[in-house]
Amino acid sequence: MSKYVIIGNSAAAIGCVEGIRSVDSTGDITIVSSEEHHVYSRPLISYLLQKKTDLKRMKYRPESFYDENHCDIIYKNTAASIDPEKKSVYLSTGRSLSYEKLLVAVGSSPFIPPMAGLESVPKRFAFSCLDDALALEKALTPTSRVLIIGAGLIGLKCAEGISGMAGSITIVDMSPRVLSSILDEDSSKIVQQHLEEHGLKLILSDSVDSFAGGRAILKSGQSVDFDILVTAVGVRANISLVKDAGGECGRGITIDSSCKTSLPEVYAAGDCTESVDVVTGQTRVMALLPNAYMQGYCAGRSMAGDAEAGFTNAMPMNSIGLFGLHIMTAGSYEGETYDSYDNGFKRLFYKDNRLVGFIIAGDTSKTGIYTSLIRNRVPLDTIDFPLICERPTLMAFSKETRKEFLGCAR
Amino acid sequence: MPINFLCPEYEVVRDYDRCIACRVCERQCANNVHSLIKESGKMFADSSKCVVCHRCVSLCPTRALKIVKSDHSFRQNANWSAKAITEIYKQADSGGVLLSSMGNPEAYPNYFDRLLINASQVTNPSIDPLREPMETSVFLGKKPTELVRDENGRLQNNLAPQLHLNVPVMFSAMSYGSISYNAHESLARAAEALGIYYNTGEGGLHEDFYKYGRNTIVQVASGRFGVHKAFLESGAAIEIKMGQGAKPGIGGHLPGAKIVGDVSRTRMIPEGGDAISPAPHHDIYSIEDLRQLVYSLKEATEYKKPVIVKIAAVHNVSAIASGIARSGADIIAIDGFRGGTGAAPTRIRDNVGIPIELALASVDKRLRDEGIRDEVSLVCAGSIRSSADVVKAVALGADAVYIGTAALLALGCHLCRNCQSGKCNWGIATQDSQLTKRLNPDIGCKRLINLVSAWDHEIKEMMGGMGINSIEALRGNRLMLRGIGMTEKELEILGVRHAGE
Amino acid sequence: MKRVYVNENWCLACHLCEYYCAFANSGGHDMATALKGVKLHPRISVEEKDLVSFAVSCRHCQEPLCVKSCITGALTKTDGLISIDRDKCVGCQTCVLVCPYGAISPAEDGVMQKCELCTKNGCEPRCVQGCPNAAIVYEER
């Protein structure tokens, strides 16, 4: 029996290990990984194709991580079910593991909408894990015509990743905008233009009706010929493991501020969960690596007995670079706005004396100052608001606050 | 107008191979000498605005700058020097009195440089100050001439109030206003750490600095600026300023532009108004009048504090000092003609007064001759440049010295002598907040402590060499000095023999 | 642990810290040759407005959001020092998005860089040494 069992082997799992070890340096930890890779960073798969990283460098933690943290790792295994009564997890191989504390960090799975004839497409890929990327890379030739379904974060990062390796790239999205989940209309136009300048063919407000061999027939009647298909429409949280065991779930696994599920001694963290967005107060799935790590870390500390552990300021945020254009977004897009087109695009959203969100494309320097205003719910009347609208700067804070920032250990 | 063009005396020389156009020179120059030429990306310097303060040279991270004396010259003339000619041009242009600052820069004889110190050989042993006790602390104040016992035969304390100095060096009077808050803080903190004293000058005492009162000498001068009961009570001693070496016979003038904020509050005068200190104290026309002020101040402070009377070194200084010694003063401070100032008429600074070496020797001799040397302590000022000057001054009769210019140099002053402009690039002689912040008192205080501690070590080395182990034993000990290259008369006044004698 | 602290009361906005930083991290031996004609990418930057100025560099937070958010594991914290493995960094700028002080920025090559207290330069922080007014100090607090 292992004191701690962690199902999953990505950011939330690693956060959990580090969280446990910050409190308990000896308790046994067993990690169950569905893949057979050492822990790597999922978002890096597009950078891998771009050759900005490689298999060795994309490891999320050093080779010695499991040894140094005294973790047993079981590769190529998934958890089939949890018995919270017996405090046991049953693996797909039939093996069972008993635990004192369990973390479910099983992430999300690509969601593929029904499209007639999809099964008949021979070169068809998802783009969410390393094996997907390696398989895609293998299939690509310099003349490949690639069709990507989905102009969201995954689809566009995939497009960037393969842009130097494919003949042409066409992206279809049913939304009228690119990155519709994180950009508003004005900013998506800027990004769209940038993408088109870099050779991407974007077909928006349209979707694939059916496939016929190497041809996709769109709802509009238009058709796209392709050699390789990538589906990147979206992901769904993997909730069944907890749900089947009787745990509470919404769109993601329900957790409290210490990352505990409704099942006793079962915690959950990362893309499979839903949590409270500090900006809106609403519960939602925020599938972001920083949140996953911080939830995992919080869960780990909590599992190891730190009653104070809590992660209460999760918020949606994204930093994405596409063909040299950096885009950062955070929070929610409501309330009044401040716009600037001086160095690219900047739109700040503020409401009830708080900054609640922003969309920045182009000059992203010091953007974290905006993020912290949102995360820490800083009342705007305590800072120089016109100045901070103009540029993110610590100068906008009071002299006392600046002294705290720069003259004290933080 | 071409007729008033004066070719810059100094030139800013930039090594363009080393200049990286970081613009620190531009940002640090309050005189706008440096600027970036946008088109070429190169820095440009307008030497005509340069005051030779070396701020840019010191901060240039690539050592790309130097300031050199221009070789531009008038036709050679031993009588009409370039200085004489340009001063005529300036006055013909402005119609005004020429103003200068810091001490007299002219090439008058310097007697400290013509005095040599003795050392022991064979017949009397020298002392190693690292192994043997060596006393550099002194007490300033009136010394009792006899022991007094009560009816039971017990010794009575008849000692007048004294100042105790760990080193016979004090920071001389520089007012808050003429120098910055940060300069004052540096002096006050250093005085406290060193166990010596600094002097408020005639500007009152900023409320923040009352806590350094035990190491503060508060000054009362002809304008009476900033003088009130709490002020008098806050210090360890009170100094009546009768005169200043840099400008004997005239008063002071702090322009209204510097009377701002705390300076105005501390001086107790309205913002923006000029602070004029009259040439004389209007209530002092005789030694008897002086005595009244001395005793008024003693009365006000319950006879707990020594009173210092400071005068400029002038022609009949020994007679004046004799009078002061009889006025009830505990300490006489004499300021020689090379002493510094924040602003003085050039002609006064460069032509009035006498060297401190001669004044000191003559005063010490006069007071001894009259048997009243113990009535007062003597503090000398007016360009004490090194620990050797301190030793020589003590041997000529001083109990301690005041340093002003040397202290400012420690704080960063580069003797550009433009204090009167109020744009001191080193943050000392200015009230511009963007300039005053350049002097961080943490650094200033440390540097002053370093300087005085270093001098203390050197004084001990020199005393040890002479086989002398206390300042007491060196004071007025002219046998420890020999003159070199001096006339009989000069030797006679100094009371020393010629080298070789 | 010793950290870099900034006191804006003494900052002169001379920007020397930026130059000393860029020089220290240039690997050169002489500032003039190392920085001449070079676009600076210092890891400390001076913020200025009206009469106020101060330098900002990494605060080496006890709970570093940048380390927690780094998608590659390039940012790590060891013995209180937050450093970046520039070989691992892919320049996604998530750290820029989360750093509350604006203390991380890209270098010329787009890979992120940050103050590492000159630990890789074998000296005490050069910004501190180069500050003419002790507005930047390196000490235990």
pLDDT in tens, B48-69: 999 999 999 999 999 999 999 9
Specify whether the CB–CB gap between B337 and B359 falls below 8 A.
no
Look at residue A316 and tell me if it is in a domain: no
Q: What is the pLDDT of residue A194?
A: 97
**Structure-block tokens of residue C34:** 């190392």
Four-CA torsion B194, B199, B200, B202, nearest 10 degrees: -170
Alpha-carbon gap: C55 to the closest alpha carbon of chain A (Å): 9
Specify whether the CB–CB gap between A285 and A273 falls below 8 A.
yes
pLDDT at B25 over 70: yes
C19 touches chain B (CB under 8 A): yes
**Structure-block tokens of residue A152:** 């969201």
pTM: 0.92
Rounded Cα distance, B392 and C107, in Å? 61
Which string of DSSP letters, residue by residue, matches chain C? -EEEEE-GGG-----HHHHHHHHHTTT-S-HHHHHTTPPP--SSEEEEETTEEEEE-----SS-HHHHH-SSS-EEEETTEEEE-TTT-----HHHHH-TT---EE-TTS-EE---TTTTTTSS-HHHHH-TTSSEEEEE-
Rounded Cα distance, A330 and A349, in Å? 10
Residues A294-321 have pLDDT tens digits of: 999 999 999 999 999 999 888 999 999 9
Q: Are residues A261 and A330 in the same domain?
A: no
Q: Are residues A206 and A133 in the same domain?
A: yes
- Tell me if C15 and B440 make a contact (CB, 8 A cut-off): no
Mean pLDDT of B318-345: 96
Specify whether the CB–CB gap between B283 and B289 falls below 8 A.
yes
- Tell me if C93 and A326 make a contact (CB, 8 A cut-off): yes
Q: Looking at beta carbons, which residues of chain A come within 8 Å of C90?
A: 44, 47, 52-53
Q: Are residues A56 and A172 in the same domain?
A: no
Domains of chain B by range and CATH?
2-96 (3.30.70.20), 167-467 (3.20.20.70)
Q: What is the pLDDT of residue A1?
A: 60
Look up the CATH number of the domain holding residue A390: 3.30.390.30
Alpha-carbon gap: B442 to the closest alpha carbon of chain C (Å): 8
Alpha-carbon gap: B174 to the closest alpha carbon of chain C (Å): 23
Average pLDDT value for chain A: 94
- Tell me if C101 and A387 make a contact (CB, 8 A cut-off): no
**Structure-block tokens of residue B262:** 């705390």
Beta strands in B294-395 (DSSP E): 307-312, 331-335, 344-345, 377-381
Look at residue A378 and tell me if it is in a domain: yes
Q: Given C72, C87, C102, which is nearest A365 (Cβ)? A: C102
Look at residue A354 and tell me if it is in a domain: yes
**Structure-block tokens of residue B107:** 């090439």
Q: Looking at beta carbons, which residues of chain C come within 8 Å of B14?
A: none
Number of domains in chain A: 3
C135 touches chain B (CB under 8 A): yes
pLDDT at A2 over 80: no
* Nearest residue to A168 (alpha-carbon basis) of A225, A118, A88: A225
Q: Are residues A344 and A363 in the same domain?
A: yes
Average pLDDT value for chain B: 95
B27 touches chain C (CB under 8 A): yes
pLDDT at B358 over 80: yes
Rounded Cα distance, B215 and B231, in Å? 13
Mean pLDDT of C115-135: 96
Specify whether the CB–CB gap between A160 and A334 falls below 8 A.
no
Q: Output b/e per residue, B81-90; b: 16+ Cβ within 10 A.
A: eeeeeeeeee
C52 touches chain B (CB under 8 A): no
Residues B239-283 have pLDDT tens digits of: 999 999 999 999 988 888 888 889 999 999 999 888 899 999 999
Alpha-carbon gap: C113 to the closest alpha carbon of chain B (Å): 21
Q: What is the pLDDT of residue C54?
A: 98
Q: Looking at beta carbons, which residues of chain C come within 8 Å of B23?
A: 15
Q: C1-57+123-141 and C58-114 share one CATH topology?
A: yes
pLDDT at A240 over 70: yes
The β-bridge relationship of strands C136-140 and B169-171 is unpaired
Residue A226 belongs to domain spanning: 110-235
Q: Are residues A89 and A22 in the same domain?
A: yes
Specify whether the CB–CB gap between B484 and B498 falls below 8 A.
yes
Q: Looking at beta carbons, which residues of chain A come within 8 Å of C88?
A: 53, 57-58
- Tell me if C132 and B434 make a contact (CB, 8 A cut-off): no
Higher pLDDT, B256 or A170: A170
Q: Looking at beta carbons, which residues of chain C come within 8 Å of B62?
A: 30-32, 35
What are the boundaries of each domain within chain C?
A: 1-57+123-141, 58-114
Contacts with B309 (C-beta within 8 Å, 6 or more apart), sequence order: B239, B240, B242, B290, B294, B324, B327, B329, B331, B332, B333
CATH number, span C58-114: 3.30.70.20
Q: Are residues A223 and A115 in the same domain?
A: yes
Q: How many helices (H) and strands (E) does chain A have?
A: 11, 25
Q: Given C31, C37, C134, which is nearest B62 (Cβ)? A: C31
Residues B465-492 have pLDDT tens digits of: 999 999 999 999 999 999 999 999 999 9
Q: Output b/e per residue, B103-131; b: 16+ Cβ within 10 A.
A: bbeeeeeebbebbbbbeeeeeeebbebee
Query: What percent of chain B shows pLDDT beyond 70?
Result: 100
Alpha-carbon gap: C1 to the closest alpha carbon of chain A (Å): 9
Look at residue A311 and tell me if it is in a domain: no
Q: Are residues A117 and A165 in the same domain?
A: yes
Q: Given B18, B61, B434, which is nearest C130 (Cβ)? A: B61
Q: Architecture of C1-57+123-141 per CATH? A: 2-Layer Sandwich (3.30)
Residues B92-109 have pLDDT tens digits of: 999 999 999 999 999 999
* Nearest residue to A366 (alpha-carbon basis) of C4, C99, C41: C99
Q: Are residues A203 and A261 in the same domain?
A: no
C51 touches chain B (CB under 8 A): yes
pLDDT at B232 over 80: yes
Specify whether the CB–CB gap between B22 and C19 falls below 8 A.
yes
Phi and psi at residue A285, to the nearest 5°: -80, 125
Q: What is the pLDDT of residue A343?
A: 86
Question: What pLDDT band is residue B1 in, cutting at 50, 70 and 90?
Answer: low
Look up the CATH number of the domain holding residue A159: 3.50.50.60
Rounded Cα distance, A223 and A208, in Å? 9
Rounded Cα distance, A89 and A95, in Å? 8
Residues B424-464 have pLDDT tens digits of: 999 999 999 999 999 999 999 999 999 999 999 999 999 99
Residue of C67, C96, C140 to mutate when probing chain A, most A C-beta within 10 A: C96
- Tell me if C97 and A330 make a contact (CB, 8 A cut-off): yes
Q: Are residues A230 and A248 in the same domain?
A: no
B62 touches chain C (CB under 8 A): yes
- What's the Rg (C-alpha) of chain B? 24
pLDDT at A356 over 90: yes
Q: Looking at beta carbons, which residues of chain C come within 8 Å of A364?
A: 93, 96-97
Residue of C69, C77, C83, C105 to mutate when probing chain A, most A C-beta within 10 A: C69
**Residue of chain A whose Cα is closest to the Cα of C47:** A395
B440 touches chain C (CB under 8 A): yes
Q: Looking at beta carbons, which residues of chain B come within 8 Å of C16?
A: 22, 24, 59, 61
Rounded Cα distance, A188 and B493, in Å? 93
* Nearest residue to A80 (alpha-carbon basis) of A88, A89, A69, A67: A89
Q: What is the pLDDT of residue B254?
A: 83
Rounded Cα distance, B406 and B387, in Å? 11
B22 touches chain C (CB under 8 A): yes
Question: What pLDDT band is residue A136 in, cutting at 50, 70 and 90?
Answer: very high
Q: Are residues A120 and A99 in the same domain?
A: no
Q: What is the pLDDT of residue A138?
A: 95
* Nearest residue to B290 (alpha-carbon basis) of B332, B251, B318: B332
Q: Are residues A225 and A138 in the same domain?
A: yes
